[in-house]
Amino acid sequence: MALVPDVLVNPPPRIRTALPDVLGVLEASDYGVLQLPPAGEHRLLLAVIADQLAEYAHHGYAVVAIGLREEPGNGLHWRRLAPLLRHRGVALPPRHIVRGDVDAALEAQRLAALLASYDLPASEQRRWRV
């Protein structure tokens, strides 16, 4: 499961051509998407998202966070989301930050490599997967 900021799901025209096809890479890597809201005050929504991430993590899903370098806080709401995840006993997922100022194909390859290499630790796989 990938935690993805709104700007990568719905990129504005000004940056759309500079970005890799993040959703395409996620789909090709068999990852689902949990979309974060745009910048702003979203305390209750972030709490619900933390609950969803906790459920995914506790049921054996590998969870990653994908941000965008050009966005404040990489678009991940990390200052608010990280404590909510810790409170729920969820390890913070690895973060991958996409850059819009480099070759989009190279960024897509970097993201695909991370997704292919990341999975839950073997002990967690045995615990949750049949």
- What is the pTM for the complete model shown? 0.85
pLDDT the model gives residue 130: 54
As a residue count, the chain comes to 130
Per-residue pLDDT tens over the stretch 15-37:
888 899 999 999 999 899 999 99
In the predicted structure, residue 39 carries a pLDDT above the cut 70: yes
Cα–Cα distance measured from residue 17 to residue 96, given in angstroms and rounded to the nearest whole number: 19
Per-residue pLDDT tens over the stretch 111-126:
999 998 886 666 666 6
Per-residue pLDDT tens over the stretch 73-100:
899 999 999 999 999 998 899 999 999 8
**pLDDT range class, residue 57, cuts 50, 70, 90:** confident
* 34, 76 contact by CB (below 8 A): no
**pLDDT range class, residue 41, cuts 50, 70, 90:** confident
* 98, 66 contact by CB (below 8 A): yes
Q: Cα dist. 21→33, 50, 79 in Å? A: 13, 25, 26
Count of other CB atoms within 10 angstroms of residue 72: 9
Minimal CA–CA distance to 63: which of 29, 99, 22, 92? 92
Considering the chain, what percentage of its residues have pLDDT values greater than 90?
Answer: 62
Kind of pairing, strands 64-68 and 2-4? parallel
